[in-house]
A and B are shown apart, each in its own frame.
Chain A
Amino acid sequence: MTSILTNLFDGVAYGMLLFVLACGLAVTLGLMNFVNLAHGAFAMAGGYVCMVLVNRMGWPFFAALPLAFVSSAAIGIVLERALYRHLYARSHLDQVLFTIGLTFMSVAAVDYIQGSSRVFINLPAALQGQFDVFGVGIGRYRLMIIVICGLLTIGLQMVLAKTRFGSRLRAAVDDPRAASGLGINVPQVFAFTFAFGCGLAGLGGALSAEILGLDPYFPLKFMIYFLIVVTVGGSSSITGPFLASLLLGIGDVAGKYYVPKMGPFVIYTMMIVILIWRPNGLFGRTAAR
């Protein structure tokens, strides 16, 4: 019984992490209909920035996290303004080719700068180990992830639903032409959203170094997971991707624990079945137009 709860806890932490990593992609791919396979590269950038700050320069972990966010967002906005925006109107094939190219470049570049082996971020002692609550083992680090990611999720939902920017974004996504006719600067809204999504990915990358492992092949290894979250979750709200992440996280952890021989098999089968059953995602209105 307790092992089930511990697994559930780990799965939730894993799922929350996936959500923070992938929710930027939910906007670009789900809402802006741009196939961005390079999303993992932004996450990796954030992770490496955090690693360098903490391990080499001795920054405290919690000070380095915001910087991981900022640096990934900065890279995101530069690339968006310089390259991505020219491709919004192009075919999906072009977008796939372009972003695969970017991914390959990021993998080789990080390999060149930091070496190809897995890196670890030195965690403060307060985050290590675990404690028991009624016999259920709770990892401190995972608890922190759940807290941070939970707060972020609530914050995102509030911004989208309550603020002026949120309504602008929803308008721009629903009908870009009508929105720009109403005086909304659509490219600016998209650029800002893109950068914010990249920043979140960077933050997720920094947090995931401990759990998912951080090495130059990160963007390729986890690309499929991000895509699953978005395509399965759909894009009508952020609740869809959020639930999909939780499902994926719990499913993956449970799959690895109870049927270790089937390995990643469970996830891929689940994804294909869901996509066949509901091509627009479990909770989606339209995943792509």
Chain B
Amino acid sequence: MNASSDVGYHAQRHARWHYGEAVFWLAVLACGFVFPNRYLIMTDILRLALFAMSLDLILGYAGIVSLGHAAFFGVGAYAAGLLALHGIVNEPVLALIVAGLAAMVLGFATSFLVIRGVDLTRLMVTLGIALLLEALAERFSNITGGTDGLQGIEMQPILGEIPFDMFGKAGFFYSLAVLFVLFLLARRIVHSPFGLSLRAIKNNPLRAAAIGIPVNRRLIAIYTLAAFYAGIAGALFTQTTAIASLDVFAFDRSADLMLVLVIGGTGYLYGGLIGAVLFRLLQEVFSTITPQYWQFWIGLVLVVIVLVGRQRLHRWMLYVPNLIIKQVAGRKAVVAVPEGDS
């Protein structure tokens, strides 16, 4: 077996669906039936998971560190809100796509700024764009409702059939369906030659360029796609909560998102999903201990994660699952260990 077919074999093996993944999604679906009175928090987790997946696409796969990912979330949220409020696009699924496209356009336009320069410049530019949009939204308060936010949004039934109900049941399954579809798309993309070329860029841009990968074009493409995902997450936020306020652009949102992804691990798509669940659980626990100061504990978690080392932490966390899989399947564990991203 020569080297190139060996690489192809491994890439294909990674791309294949594992039992564990099917179990994961069935478990998520089952949650919808097992906890009928927790729909609101579960929908919240799904939205966050989608948002985190969006960051994972650029951070985990392309290695772009962004401090302003909330910009796209916010654009998606306001787009969906305005579309519903003024009755431009009434059908939620269509509106979702339109909102996603709006964020995508912004993502494409700003990607040219982001691909220039080193990490530090990227941090600054992404942060600056998010702050700029927040200032804009505040400035044009006649459109965005200013600090009060968009109010009085009434959502039409999904696909003209399923109305949003009070308990958030429709919202939950709607969000889950959107998340799953987008996950399938992301999974297909990251395992395609395109996705593999992104990893090459992340590991060493110079070398990637030397073997003929158009580095800048690939980065623009993935950044635009991630903006689309974040826009959809924002639109889901507006559609399921029927509000959009200035805090969709807030720095805290981008920072929390980083934490979500770091808890879950970057570079294997499930990180965002697992991280979202763990993050909300942590938040719940901390706010029951000290309602006003939960941010302190969130900060502490971040500090500890970094000091212990993300890779080591994930090895520890996967130790028990790996052990079980080893026992049950009688072979080497297949749980994806996130790659290092330094």
Also in contact, A275 and B125, with CB within 8 A (given A261-B139, A268-B132): yes
Also in contact, A98 and B296, with CB within 8 A (given A227-B127, A268-B135): no
Which of B117, B259, B296 interacts with A275 by CB under 8 Å?
A: B117
Q: What does the 1/0 interface line of A251-276 toward B look like (CB < 8 Å)? A: 00000000001111100110110011
B190 to chain A, nearest CB (A): 19
B65 and A271 within 8 A (CB): no
Which B residues are CB-close (under 8 A) to A102?
299, 303
Residue of A at shortest CB range from B127? A224
Of the 9-residue stretches A3-11, A107-115, A159-167, which lies at the interface with chain B?
A107-115
Residue of B at shortest CB range from A103? B299
CB of A177 within 8 Å of the partner chain: no
CB of A91 within 8 Å of the partner chain: yes
A91 and B303 within 8 A (CB): no
B124 and A231 within 8 A (CB): yes
B30 to chain A, nearest CB (A): 33
Band of interface residues on A? 35 or more
Which B residues are CB-close (under 8 A) to A276?
113, 116, 125
Which of B59, B113, B138, B295 interacts with A104 by CB under 8 Å?
A: B295
CB of B292 within 8 Å of the partner chain: yes
CB of A287 within 8 Å of the partner chain: yes
Which of A101, A227, A263, A279 interacts with B302 by CB under 8 Å?
A: A101
A271 and B124 within 8 A (CB): yes
Also in contact, A104 and B299, with CB within 8 A (given A96-B65, A288-B118): yes
B113 and A98 within 8 A (CB): no
B258 and A287 within 8 A (CB): no
Also in contact, A92 and B307, with CB within 8 A (given A101-B299, A104-B302, A268-B132): no
A/B pair count, beta carbons within 8 Å: 135
A92 and B300 within 8 A (CB): no
Which B residues are CB-close (under 8 A) to A29?
120
Q: Which of B124-144 contact A (CB under 8 A)?
A: 124-125, 127-129, 131-132, 135-136, 138-139
Also in contact, A98 and B306, with CB within 8 A (given A227-B127, A271-B128, A288-B120): yes
B176 to chain A, nearest CB (A): 29
B293 and A272 within 8 A (CB): no
Question: What is the bound-complex CA distance between A268 and B251, given in angstroms?
Answer: 14
Question: What is the bound-complex CA distance between A272 and B126, given in angstroms?
Answer: 9
B258 and A100 within 8 A (CB): yes
A280 to chain B, nearest CB (A): 8
Question: What is the bound-complex CA distance between A90 and B306, given in angstroms?
Answer: 10
Which B residues are CB-close (under 8 A) to A271?
124, 128
CB of A87 within 8 Å of the partner chain: yes
What is the number of residues of chain B that contact chain A, defined by CB distance less than 8 Å? 45
Chain A: interface secondary structure? helix
Question: What is the bound-complex CA distance between A29 and B118, given in angstroms?
Answer: 13
Residue of B at shortest CB range from A269? B132
A271 to chain B, nearest CB (A): 5
CB of A209 within 8 Å of the partner chain: no
A234 to chain B, nearest CB (A): 11
B306 and A97 within 8 A (CB): yes
B120 and A231 within 8 A (CB): yes
Which of B135, B136, B255 interacts with A100 by CB under 8 Å?
A: B255
Q: Which of A35, A101, A109 has the most CB of B within 10 A?
A: A101
A287 and B120 within 8 A (CB): yes
A51 to chain B, nearest CB (A): 20
B66 to chain A, nearest CB (A): 10
A residues contacting B by CB (< 8 A) are 29, 35, 83, 86-87, 90-94, 96-98, 100-109, 111-112, 220, 223-224, 227-228, 231, 261-265, 268-269, 271-272, 275-276, 279, 287-288
Given contacts A83-B307, A268-B135, 8 further A-B contacts (CB under 8 A): A35-B120, A93-B342, A97-B259, A98-B303, A101-B303, A111-B292, A263-B139, A272-B128
B residues contacting A by CB (< 8 A) are 59, 65, 67, 113, 116-121, 123-125, 127-129, 131-132, 135-136, 138-139, 251-252, 255, 258-259, 262, 292-296, 298-303, 305-307, 310, 341-342
11 A-B pairs with CB atoms under 8 Å apart are A35-B120, A97-B305, A104-B295, A104-B296, A104-B302, A105-B300, A108-B293, A108-B299, A264-B131, A272-B129, A276-B113
